[in-house]
Structure 1
Amino acid sequence: MLALRAFFAMVPLALTLAACSIPGPEQAPDGIWDPNEPANRRVHAFNTRVDDKVLRGAGTGVMEALPAGGRQAVSQFADTVGTPQTVVNQLLQLRLWRATQNTLRFALNATVGLGVLDPASELGLTPDKSDFGETLAVWGVPEGAYMVVPFVGPSTERGATGMVVDLFTDPLAYVLHSPERYLPPLAKAADRVIARGEFSQTVDSVLYDSSDAYAQTRLMHLQHRRYTLGAEDPASADIDPMALDTTGF
């Protein structure tokens, strides 16, 4: 019920935000609508400094300190505790079969897999993530302008609105008690650090070796997000949209 209330409360806000920023064909012929680029570049520079001072070193440290099995266990636990929120969003999207599969996936991995193993994938129930930004897209909310969120990274007006709603639609947050309720966000944060370490060379090449890291990150994020949502991306570049998920960088 809470998820439904959040959905119906936030859709009008998301429509208003995105509708105010929908570009005309002559304004964004390359498929990139970034009317707040100067402010976005400042936030991007701030996030890059945070990455350099915190995530970059932490990711390398975790890679050196934890064996591969330990890193996999943390990442799998983050996936397991994140699955119920995916189910909520897929129910809101009326994707009932996918929601059912993810419910079974969570049940198997949380019990047989003890939260840190993935027996569900061996049975064909592979990871299938979703968020409220995708829910808004399914219901026709426009993408809106590109934006960079402090400490989070590249997004859009629709995506940022979805992030806010996702703060309140995690079922585990209302089921678990302290201190267990803090385990899911801590696991997700740890998984982010691990991912930063695993893809350090690729991320460093984009953030620190590119002639225009902001423009490249923007293009890669929009291509990747539109690709995962099944939307046609009019932007063109010789970049594999699945090569790197720049979320959080």
Structure 2
Amino acid sequence: MPVYRFQHHVARMPIFILALALVSACAAPDPGAVTRDGIYDPNEAKNRKVHAFNLGLDKAILRPAGRGYSNAVPDGIEDSIGNFATNLAQPSVIVNSVLQGDLRGAGLSTVRFLTNTVLGFGGFVDAATEFKVPQHDTDFGETLYVWGAGEGPYVELPVVGPATRRDAVGRVVDLFTNPLSYRLPTPESYYATGAKLASRLGDRGRYSDTVDSILYESADSYAQARLIYLQNRRFELGSSAGADSADPYSDDPYSDIYEDPYAQ
């Protein structure tokens, strides 16, 4: 990409990020609409329609493709592709760590990226772990959380799946936070996307039994996926039991996230 195009994108990013951050920050839940599980889902009817679409897509394409991929590709190669995808995502992790004021996290991600790129054959080998450099991961959804943006309502996105409004905004912004996407020429700039998609497909095949039990064996797959996503995400952010979603009722941050709330 020419230098002037890179500079143009960088110049627009702060305005774009600020606008999306403000949109996310405006998502304050109605306390009366928050359930005892700390779930705010005012658009459940629409979300369930998207969930039905995602379920059909998974059944027709993703599940068989994931199983086929996982059976055809040796575990070692799957791991290498996953390592490569993770390494190419590190510059975005560095950017978000800096935005969060997490200099330690930014430093760890920088060391991991340089170590795996130089000593790990471009990232196919996780050399940083061999040198005991801790893993560090974050995203713009967490950046918004650190900045004080509210979680907002639960949403299910087509193809992507469960999210909150804050995380949905974060996923859009993260498309622009990786400097490699501006610096690498075509087609190299698409390697990260391809590796990430392959890694996700491999995960769908590798963890097929667990995913299938949620999507196809629970009494209400929508409610089950929603509960698991929200509790896991809040745990990742250090916000167990929906503390930042204005949940005045939840008092059990250690409830079983795999329990089916509709089972009799």
Aligned to 1:112: 119
Q: Note closer, same or farther for the CA distance 1:130–1:20 as it changes in structure 2 (3 Å cut).
A: closer
- Aligned to 2:41, the other structure's residue is in SS state coil
- Aligned to 2:156, the other structure's residue is in SS state strand
Where do 5+ consecutive residues of structure 2 fail to align? 1-6, 243-249, 260-264
Aligned equivalents of 1:99, 1:125: Cα separation in 2 = 13
1:227 to 226, 232, 235: 235
Aligned equivalents of 1:15, 1:109: Cα separation in 2 = 36
CA contact 1:56–1:197 (8 Å) conserved in 2? yes
Aligned equivalents of 1:198, 1:22: Cα separation in 2 = 37
Aligned to 1:244: none
Within a 5 Å distance, the mapping from 1:12-161 to structure 2 comes to 12-24=19-31, 26-30=32-36, 31-114=38-121, 115-161=123-169
Alpha-carbon shift at residue 12 of structure 1 (Å): 4.3
Counterpart amino acid of 1:190? A
Q: Note closer, same or farther for the CA distance 1:240–1:110 as it changes in structure 2 (3 Å cut).
A: farther
Aligned equivalents of 1:120, 1:20: Cα separation in 2 = 39
Aligned to 1:166: 174
Alpha-carbon shift at residue 195 of structure 1 (Å): 0.5
CA contact 1:93–1:138 (8 Å) conserved in 2? yes
Aligned equivalents of 2:191, 2:167: Cα separation in 1 = 24
Q: TM-score, normalised by structure 1?
A: 0.90
Counterpart amino acid of 1:147? V
Q: How many residues align?
A: 240
Q: What is the CA deviation profile of residues 187-229 of structure 1, one whole-angstrom value per residue up to 9, with x for unaligned ones?
A: 0000000000111000000001110000000000000101001
**1:214 and 2:232 correspond:** no
Aligned to 1:199: 207
Counterpart amino acid of 2:214? V
- Aligned to 2:33, the other structure's residue is in SS state coil
Alignment RMSD, CA only? 1.9
Counterpart amino acid of 2:29? I
CA contact 1:3–1:169 (8 Å) conserved in 2? no
Alpha-carbon shift at residue 3 of structure 1 (Å): 6.2
- Aligned to 2:209, the other structure's residue is in SS state helix
Aligned equivalents of 2:81, 2:112: Cα separation in 1 = 17
Alpha-carbon shift at residue 8 of structure 1 (Å): 4.9
Aligned to 1:239: 257
Aligned equivalents of 2:12, 2:152: Cα separation in 1 = 23
Q: What is the CA deviation profile of residues 7-62 of structure 1, one whole-angstrom value per residue up to 9, with x for unaligned ones?
A: 553334433344244222x3214210000000000001111111111110111111
Aligned equivalents of 1:20, 1:228: Cα separation in 2 = 20
- Aligned to 2:163, the other structure's residue is in SS state strand
CA contact 1:18–1:157 (8 Å) conserved in 2? no
Q: What is the CA deviation profile of residues 127-177 of structure 1, one whole-angstrom value per residue up to 9, with x for unaligned ones?
A: 211111110000000000000111100001100111111111111101110
Where do 5+ consecutive residues of structure 1 fail to align? 242-249
